[in-house]
Structure 1
Amino acid sequence: MHTTGRNLPGLLGEARRWFEEALLRALEKSGEVPVSPPQVQLFAVLDEQGATVSELAQRTGVTRQTAHQAVHGLVDAGLLEQCPHPSSARQRLIRRTREGERVHRRASSILAELEERLAERIGRRSVDALRDALETPWGDPPSVEPPAE
């Protein structure tokens, strides 16, 4: 077992960046519209029903302003569209366009290939264990007292 002494959130962030960088490179090589890492994250959390900018900000853990900028970049790129919200005249629903759906399918295929490449590097059993741990519900974050100084 390898131990670097680094905390788990830092390691998870590094792992996410590994996938993001490889995904962005593959999309660029295939001639897709260039997107930024925040746009990739936002695009990834957008489900079939669509979401408001506020919901997307919450899902990605960024400010509403950051999510708004990412959405508008993806709208300008033709990957997302803004539609009337069915229950609120003040809000807009963000959805993938037909082109956005195509790019999403391509990105999903690339991510599956990256997972296979990772399995070649660290072993299928390790990848399966990682997936299992991350798919298991963790419950609400606990309340933890800071250590005494």
Structure 2
Amino acid sequence: MYATGRNLPQLLGDARRWFEDALLAALEAAGEVHVSPTQAGLFAVLDEQGTTVSELARRMGVTRQTAHQAVHGLVAVGLLEQVPDPTSGRQRLIRRTAEGERTHREAELVLHRLEEVLADRIGPEATHALRAALEAPWGSPPALGPPKA
């Protein structure tokens, strides 16, 4: 059994929320536009040249409707814009506005500082090991059979 009784996906979710909560609080304290965790996650998976809503939804692991709502909220506050996709007459690309780029750079600086705080708290070696484990290729998810009793 694990020391906390919690499985690895639960612990990874807690770690993600630690970063997310601190990031959003720091951006709000700096006077940035309030964004939801879903909207912040959308920024993290957006390509520089733009990304379709369908692709954003896939990368975020949410429905197209959820991604679409997040996009519209960010368009409304001036952080994103929709532009025609040059490779498709029917699709539109979502990309950052100049203000969205500035906010994204600010968020990256905050995340870097948060990683430094984490290193102060758990040690630089543990932080480096955590990063290395998460950056290592894990391969495709395995196809496991039913659990054995």
The TM-score normalised by the length of structure 2 is: 0.96
Q: Describe the SS at the equivalent of 1:89.
A: coil
Partner of 1:3: 3
Partner of 2:13: 13
Q: Describe the SS at the equivalent of 2:93.
A: strand
Q: Deviations over 1:64-91 (max 9, x none)?
A: 0000000000010100000000111111
The one-letter amino acid paired with 1:77 is V
Deviation at 1:128, TM superposition (A): 0.3
Distance 1:3 1:127 in 2: 19
Q: Describe the SS at the equivalent of 1:88.
A: coil
Q: Deviations over 1:9-61 (max 9, x none)?
A: 11111100000000000000000000000000011111212110000000010
Residue-pair matches, total: 148
The TM-score normalised by the length of structure 1 is: 0.96
Distance 1:56 1:137 in 2: 22
Following superposition of structure 1 onto structure 2, how do residues 119-130 of structure 1 map, counting pairs within 5 Å?
119-130=119-130
Q: Which runs of 5+ in 2 are unaligned?
A: none
The one-letter amino acid paired with 1:64 is R
What fraction of aligned residue pairs are identical, expressed as a percent? Answer: 70
Deviation at 1:5, TM superposition (A): 2.2
Deviation at 1:4, TM superposition (A): 1.0
Distance 2:12 2:49 in 1: 28
Q: Deviations over 1:74-110 (max 9, x none)?
A: 0101000000001111110000111000000000000
Deviation >2 Å, runs of 4+: none
Distance 2:137 2:21 in 1: 27
Partner of 2:35: 35
Partner of 1:74: 74
Distance 2:146 2:7 in 1: 16
Q: Which runs of 5+ in 1 are unaligned?
A: none
Deviation at 1:3, TM superposition (A): 2.0
